[in-house]
Structures are given as structure tokens and as C-alpha cells.
Chains A and B, each alone.
Chain A
Amino acid sequence: MSIHRAKYLIAAAALSVATLLLAGTTAAAVSQETCTGHWLPSPSDPPPGVLGQSAEKAAESLRDDGYDCKVVNDKPADVDEQTVVVAAQNTRTENDPDGGTTSLVHLSLGVAMPDLVGKTLRLAGQTVTRLGLAVRTSPSDGAADWIVRLQRPGAGDYVVFERAVTLILEKPVQPVLVPVPDLIERTEDEAAALVKDAGLKYKERILKDGQQPGRVVSQQPQPGELVERTTTVTADVRRVPAPPPTTVVPTPPLPPPVVVRTVVPDLVGRLESTAKQAVGVARLKFQSRVVRPGSAPGIVLNQRPRAGSEVDVGTVVAVDVTRAPKPKLVPVPDLLNRSEDEARGAVEGVELIFDLIGGRDASGRDRQVISQQPRAGELVPTGATVTVEFAADESNWPSWLVPLLLGTAVLAAGTISRIRHRPGRDPKPKPVPQIHVAERLTLGIPQLHESGPAHRIRINARLERGRQSLQEKSDEHQ
């Protein structure tokens, strides 16, 4: 080795160490000063590949193999230091001052290409620009929402700063949207079929017990919403209440038989209360129905299942019981102007009791009813008393005769008066005897003859507050 070559080696090593110390690990140290640019002895092996490495690491690797290096471009100001790598390397052989040759590796800084396929041009362009690269698209007039179908360089390849990246674009295909079917209140099977028919995916979520068990109470997405095919539709289904747990009798070494059957007691002829008690003792359920009136209310007429039959515990025993006899209501007959015998017959004919005011007439003459209580047509229970009153004995004339006679008398008096005041041929009036007529009109008893019965009706209506319930279609607020 010549003295010059030895000097070069020493100087290069010292400068490299100094550079590394200054640079540390900060990205700010990445510059053209990374490599010495000084002459090194020309190695016999080709330089190592340093693509993808940071500039510092690349310089170190090259130096270890006897190569000097030089960074030939700058990092754009707004590019993140952490992303900067050696994107290209180029070895050049040059003559050194000592008369020999030396190899210098040119390092180009750049970045590793991200995967842009599938992204929109808007997003891919922003990404590439942030990395200090240029964008070239094909076709060149692609819209921002077009999709990157292909990229050059490919994902993971290294690209030198300010080089152009080519993005092959394609127009996005509009997704086929389908409306979400309405699953509310459908059964699980119906809901699943509807979702499948719509080309969507069905997913079920079981909720707590509640009304409408086994049916869909809410869904996501909502009915009618337009979604892409194969979207999953989640249906919330109320759980069907589990059957009541069966009592399990613990099994001792010698287990007694588990009582699940019982014998139906004989209930016919018993009072309803005692029948219900007997049914309870037999661990059965009691159900009664009032069917018809009987001599005594609440007597069991029949039963089902029959007495003595063996049934499962908890079976319903249905019985028919009597109710209290209902009073029979009959209308009171119209007795006015009827004779006593007619009135009595009419009253007793409808199972009512006939009573009269003043007792029977001893003369035996035919009397007529002038009032009755209750009034005609009124509904009264059988056995009720109907009280009647007859006209006095003197008034045996027909009721129409008195007004007729009075009218005749008044007419006659008027005729006499007109005859008396008729103008005569003699201008001198003859003396007329003074006649005083004392007229007296006694007030008769007004009679109201009704064609039918009158009723007094009282009405009282009320509306209570009632019961309210609120059920949300979705559980998100419960």
C-alpha cells in the first residue's frame, strides 16, 4: 500500500466517524454529507445492495465493503423523515489522484410505495403527494372517486423523490342497493326467509322475555333502508318464555314414586267453595261457570273430568254451578175503567196480588177502576201487590155523561138569553123580572190518559283513567 492510499484510508475513516457522531439517529442528518465523497481504494467485489435502508445505514454498509457513497438528491421538505430510504443506487468507477481507480456509489433518496390499489384517486393522490412523488393517471381525466386498479411502481417498490407514479384507474361500479324488508312482528322463520329473498344476510339476536315472544321486535337496518346486497340484517327477537321448571324430586337411595298423577274428587252437589277447596287439595286447578238458576245458588251441577278419574297434577277441573233464581218481571196490566172482576182477573192472571181501597161494594153494583198503583205497564216482580181504587157509588153514570149534561145546560141557558133580548115590535120594553144565575164550575180531577207506561230514567256515566303501556320498537332506550 502506498503512503497516499494509507492517508486516504485514515482520513476517510476519521471523517466517517465524525459524520456519524454528528448525525446520530436523527433524520435531519440525511443529506449529501452522509457519504464522504472522498476517494477510497477500489474494492474487488460489487457493492452491497442498500435499497430500502436509511442513508446512514447504507453508507455504513458500503464503507464496510470499501465503497464510498454520495447522495445525489434532496428530501422534499414536507416528507416525513421516517419514511425516507435509499430508493436507487448507482456505482461509478473513477480515476483517483494516485493513478488508480476508485468506486463511488450514488445513492438516490426516496420512499417505499404504499399499496394504493382499491383506493380512490382522491385518497391515492393525497398519499403519493405527501410522499414527495408525482402522480400520473390513466386515463388522465379520471374523476376523484375513480378507483385505482393498478399502480406502477407496485406496492413495496422504492421510488426516488419527485419521480412520477402511474395509477391505472377504473370507474367505480355503483353497488346494487336493495330495500331492507320489514321484519317487525314477523316470526323468526318468516323474517329469515324475507331477508334471504332480498339477497341479504340474516342474523338473529335474542332479547329478554316480553310481549310477542318469538317475534321480531326491532331490526337493524330499519325497514325500507337501501343497503348493498349481502348486508347483514340483524333481527331482535323476543325469547319464547321457557316452560316452568319441572320440580325434580331428589332421588334418595330408595326413591319414593314421584307424584305426578292425582285422582279427581267428586264435586257434584257440593257448594262451589267446598268444591274449590277439594280441587286444591288434589293439586288440581278449579274453573267454574255459572250456567242456570237453581233452587240454591252455587251448587255444582256437573264436572269435567269425571270424579275418580286419574289425571296429571295441575289439570283444570271445570264445573258448572247454579246461580240464584232470577225474579220474573211482569208488566202491570191497565185496569182503568175496568170493573172489579175484570181488574182482579187481569192482576191475578199475571201472578200479581190484587188489592183495593175501600173494600168491596156491598150493593153488588158494578164499579169501575179510577186509579191504580203501580201504573200500567210498569215492570214488577211476580207476587207484587197492585192496589186499585174505584169510583164512588153515586157516580154510577158513565164518565162522559156529566160533561155532556153540563154542556147541554149551558147551551140551553144561552138560547134563553138570546130569546129574551130579541128586539120586539113594542118600542117600550116590558119590565123583566131580575133573575140571578149563580154559576159554579167545580174543578174536576184532571185525568191524563197515557197510551203507554211512563218511566223515570236516571243515567250515570263515567270513564276511568284506564291502564297505559308503552312499548318501544327498539330496545336501545330500555
Chain B
Amino acid sequence: MNTSSSHQITIASHFNQTSPDTSAELKGLITRSKVLERAPHLGPVAWLVSAPVTHALTATFDRDLGEPILWAWRTHRELQEAANATVAGAGSPEYVTLAKHEISSIHHPEVDVTVDQQPPVTLTFDLTLLFTLESLRLTVQGGLLVGLSPGACSAEVTLGAHGFDFKRSATYALQELVKLHTGLRLLPASAYAAQPV
């Protein structure tokens, strides 16, 4: 299990296992896959745009790997009810237990490439994040997620396009992926209008 907690775990760093540059391995994977050479319309200038596209794509992956977990939890009925029940005041917390569950998050990152005066070419990638979480207990107070029982979370990220794909799996402590700080909102911002956080 990756237990390092000193750094932010991003989608890009998830692919990184050896290099100090968090996006170096991801860049290498994209380059070796020759996905840009396979992309339609780029053709003879593909080798020219490879580095900029790779750089731009990995830059978009500098996002918290665990963000989709919170987004998915926000759709869970029991958590929503607990958040609604506690958002009004500073009463006692409510607890929600979740059985072992899976969270999938599907994205289609796009890169527009414009060469000279030609019409832009859009490269669309498929990015799939799959999290498997053990059963856990979440503490909700004031409409915020304020507590998490310790547990492991395995993450599998797959990036693909134009006939290639590669994936990388790792297991993290859940607290590494979902950092609570002073509490995470489980409801739309408007619900906290009277309760500034």
C-alpha cells in the first residue's frame, strides 16, 4: 500500500512510480504508445505536436485522484439525508456506514491541436478511474463530511485512445485520497448559505 501522505496524490502521480517528476512516466507512456501518430488528421506533423500534446494532457491530470470519490458519495442517498439532517445546526453528528463499494468515474479529456492555419484537430482520450473501497463509516456533522473510518482504497486508472490503453493500479489509505481538513461539503453550496463554512 502506498502510505506516503506528504504529497498530493494526483492522477498524474498515480502513473508515476519511479521518476521524481510526477508526470514523467505518464509522458513516457503516451509517447511510447504512439497514440498521436495514430490520431487521424495529424499525420505528418504528429511528431511535432507529440511533446506539447503530452505536456498539456498530463497538465490536465494534475488533479486530485480522490476527487471523484467525494463526488460519488455526494450522490448517495443516506449521506445526503444525513447531511440535510445536520446542516441546520451544530448538533450531534450522524454516522453512515457504507458496505464495500466501487466507485467508477469516466472522463473524456480532450486536446485541441491547431497546426498553422489548419482547422483544429481534437484528440479525445478515455480516462477511467475505478476505486474499490472497503466497508467504512462516515461521520456527518453540520452537513459536512467530518470523519472517515480508516480503510484501504484500491485505485485503477486506465487511459486510452485510438486503439491503445494502459492502466496502473495502486492501493492507498483512504485518508490519503480524501483529505477532510475542516470538513467536506456533501450538499450544493446553496444549502450552506446560512451556515458559512
Contacts and interface: CB of A to CB of B under 8 A. Distances in A.
A372 to B, nearest CB: 15
A293 to B, nearest CB: 14
Interface residues of A, number: 26
Given A456-B116, A457-B52, A466 B68 contact: yes
Contacts of A462: 60, 109-111
B112 interface: yes
A457 B102 CA distance: 41
B54 to A, nearest CB: 10
B34 interface: no
A26 to B, nearest CB: 50
A361 to B, nearest CB: 31
A227 interface: no
Contacts of A469: 72, 103-104
Contacts of A472: 98-101
B172 interface: no
Contacts of A463: 60-61, 63, 107, 109, 127
Contacts of A476: 99
A477 B56 contact: no
A282 interface: no
B105 A468 contact: yes
Contacts of B104: 468-469, 471
A196 interface: no
A470 B61 CA distance: 22
Given A465-B71, A468-B75, A477-B98, A459 B112 contact: yes
A10 B59 CA distance: 115
A469 B75 CA distance: 8
B108 A464 contact: yes
Contacts of A459: 49, 52-53, 55-56, 111-114
Contact of B60 (A457, A461, A473): A461
A218 interface: yes
A458 interface: yes
Interface string B86-121: 000000000011111111111111111111101010
Given A474-B99, A477-B98, A461 B45 contact: no
Contacts of B103: 468-471
A474 B45 contact: no
A467 B105 contact: yes
A460 B101 contact: no
B177 interface: no
Nearest to A469: B104
A378 B75 CA distance: 51
17 contacts: A218-B99, A457-B48, A457-B49, A457-B113, A458-B113, A459-B52, A459-B113, A460-B120, A461-B111, A462-B110, A463-B109, A464-B108, A468-B71, A468-B103, A472-B98, A477-B96, A477-B99
Interface of A: 218, 378-379, 455-474, 476-478
Interface of B: 44-45, 48-49, 52-53, 55-57, 59-61, 63, 68, 71-73, 75-78, 96-116, 118, 120, 127
Instruction: List the 4 closest A-B pairs by CB distance, nearest first.
Output: A466-B107, A461-B56, A474-B99, A463-B60
Given A458-B113, A473-B102, 17 more contacts: A455-B45, A457-B45, A457-B114, A458-B112, A458-B114, A459-B56, A459-B111, A461-B57, A461-B110, A463-B127, A464-B109, A465-B107, A468-B105, A469-B103, A471-B101, A472-B98, A474-B100
